[in-house]
Chains A and B, each alone.
Chain A
Amino acid sequence: MNDQQWRAHVHESIDQSLAHIQKNPFLAQQIQKKMAEKKKDGRKIAALPLLAAAMMLLLLAGAWAMDLPLWGLKNWLAGEDRPPLPIATSQPHTLGETSHPLGEMRVREMTTDGYGIYFSLEFIPKNEKTLLLSSPSFPGDSVRSIGISPDFEGQTIAQWADAHGYPDLYSLLLYDADVYTSGQSTYSPLYAGLSYPELEKIEENGIHLFMMSLPWEENRKSITLSYLIRKIEEQPADVNEKMTTMLTSVEADGNHKEYFLSIPLEPAENMGKTIIAQYAPLSHGLPENHELQLESLTLFQTPVSGYWDMAYTLSPSRAHDGNREGSPWLYLSGIFGYNTNMHIWQQEEKEDGSIRYHLICSCVLPDSLPEILKGEISLRDPTEDPDDDAFPSSHPVEWQRIRP
C-alpha cells in the first residue's frame, strides 16, 4: 500500500468510525463563556524537589540579599560573591502590560551569549511594604509553613515579613508565554521556563528584583512573559487540597488577571568561548540496558557564564527505540551546582544511526578545578512507559581530567 492509499484508508476509517463527531454549533459560545469565566488549566509547574530548592534559595536570598549594594545581573552571573563580569548588559524596552494595580513590572538588564538569555525583572511596588514572592511560595499554602522543614532553624517568610512590617504577602507566577502557547512546553527544555526565578531580592527602596535565565534559541525575536499576582491567604480552606492543586496547575480566575509583557531580543552576540578543562569518564553505575555511552565532559566559559557540556551517545537501537527517541530523559547534577532553568540540549545523528547528545548547563566554575569530578546522573528506565512520569533513578558517575 503506498502513501496515498494509506492516507485514504486512514481518513475513511477515522471519519466513518467517528462519524458521530460533527460540528458543534455551540462551540463558539462555550469558548466565549469559558473565556468570560477566565478559566485556565493545565499549567504545570516544576516538580517538588525543584520547588523545594528554589524555596531555599528564596530564603537564603531574603536573609542576605539586602546587604549587597551592587547586586544585579553581573553579580549574579559572576556568582554573587565575585567581582562583576566584564559584560555589557542592555536595558531593553519592556512592551505590554507593565502596569499592575500593585506596581510596575519591567526588565532592568539583559544579556545573551549564544547559549543563554539572562535578565533581571524588576517590580516597583506602589506601596513599599508590598512583599512579592515567586511561585515556590504556593499561593494556597499557609504562610506560616512556607520553607519549613524539620531541621530548619531560620525564620519563615511570614515571620520575616512580620518583623519587617509587610502586612500582605503576594505570589508572582511567571511564564514564558511563547513556549506555553507554541505547544513546546511538554518536552522543551524551556518547560520549567520562567515558572520561578533563580534568585530574588528586595532592594532598600522596596523594589523587587527577580533574576532569570532561559536557553537561547536561534531565530527567537522576543520573549513574551505572562505574569499573575495573587495574594497569599494565611489560612487556606484545605491546605492539602491547595498544595495538590498548586503542584499540578495554576489557574487564573476572575479575581486575578493575567498580564503580558514583551521583551524584544537582539541577535545573540558571538562572544566566543574558552575551553577551561576536559574530562573523560572514569567510572559510572549506569545499567547496561540503557545502551548509553558517556563520552566527555567539557567545562567552558563565555564572557557571561561558565558552562559544563556533557556529551554522550545512545546506541542506534536505543536512539530509535519507538517512543523513546528524541527524549533523552537524562539529567546530571552535582557539577558545581547548576541553574535549573538553563538546560540546553543539542543532538547530532551519526552515520551508524546512533545519536550523540550534548547536555549543556550554566554553572559557576571554581578557581581551582578538581582532577576527578563527581556527579549523579538521573535517568529513566528504558523499559518504562515513556509517558509515565515515574521518578528517574540516580547513578553516580566520575570523570577524570584530561591533560592536553
Chain B
Amino acid sequence: MNSFHHLPAWLLNALMADSSLALAQVTGWLDPVHFYPEDYVEDHYWGMMEEDPQAATLYALTICRDLFPAVYTRAVQHIRQGASFDELDTLICQTINEQYPLFNLTTIHDMRYGIPVEWYGIDLDSPEMLDQHPWAVDILADFGAIPEKLRGIVAFDYDDVWTAWQTAQHVVRSLVIEDRQPCADLALLLLWLFSSTENSLVDHSYEAWAEGGLEPLEWSRRTLIALREAAEQAQVIIDGALRGLDLLLGDEGYRAAFRHNIRTIAQAIQRGRKHVRLSWPDGPGDRGIEDGAGRNAEPDPAVLLVRLYRNEAD
C-alpha cells in the first residue's frame, strides 16, 4: 500500500531524471503548439469553417508563438485555466493592439487576412470618396476639378484629376523648397490627396490594396519591422496633412494665398514657363525672428520628412 502511494512521486522523479522526458513535459506545459506541425496547423485552419473557434485559436497561437512570445505565454496559461474563446480572443487582440497601436485587430478570426493595419489612402476615382472625404472635394475644386455625374454616378473625371495633379506637383515642389512650416504640412496634405507620398499605408486604401491583387501582409518578423516604420511615417504624414487641412479650411487669408499660387502655376503651365517662384505666407501662429519670437529648437517631424522629397523638387 505504501509503495502504491509513493508511485506518483517516484514516476514524476523518474520522468524528470530523463532529459528527453523532462523536456517533453516542460514543452507540454509552456509550449503546447510545438506538438502541432506547421502543415497540420495550416491544414487544420484552412480545412475548417471560417468561424471555427478551435481552428482560429490554433492559428492565432501559432502566430503569437513566432512573433509575440508574451501574448503566447499568457494565452496558453489562460487556456490551461479554462478561459472561454471570447476571453482568449479579447486577451490576444487587446495585447497585440497595445504593442502595436496602429493595428486594429478586432478578433483572432481576422488574423487569416494578414496584419490588420490602418490604411489611409484616398481613392479619387471612387464615388464613395465624396462622402468619406468631403474636404478633398473642397481642395480639388481649387485645382479646377469638380465631380460630375457620369452614367448616373457622381464622381471625378480622371482627366480632371490628372490635370489637377500636374499643377499640384509644382505647388508641392514650391512648398518643399520653403523647408519650413506650415509649408511642410501643406505639402504633405497634397501628397496624401494625390496618393504620392510613396508610403503604401498612406497611398492605398484597404479596398484599393485588396482589389489590386496585392497579397495580404503576412505575419512575419520582417513585415512587422517594415510595417512599424511605415506606420510611424504614416502617422507623421497624416498628422501634418490634417494640420495643413485645418489651416486651409480655417484661415481665409492662407486659403486665398493657396488659390493664388495655384492660379499662378496653372497660367505658367499654359504659357510653357518652367520656373515660377511662389510666395508662401507664415502660418497664423508664426512670428518672425525679428519680433523676438522664440522658435522651437526641436526638429519638426513633418519638415524633416518633407526633405526626403527635396531631391525630386530640386
Whether both chains belong to one complex is answered with no
> Which residues of B are interface residues toward A (Cβ below 8 A)?
none
> Which residues of A are interface residues toward B (Cβ below 8 A)?
none
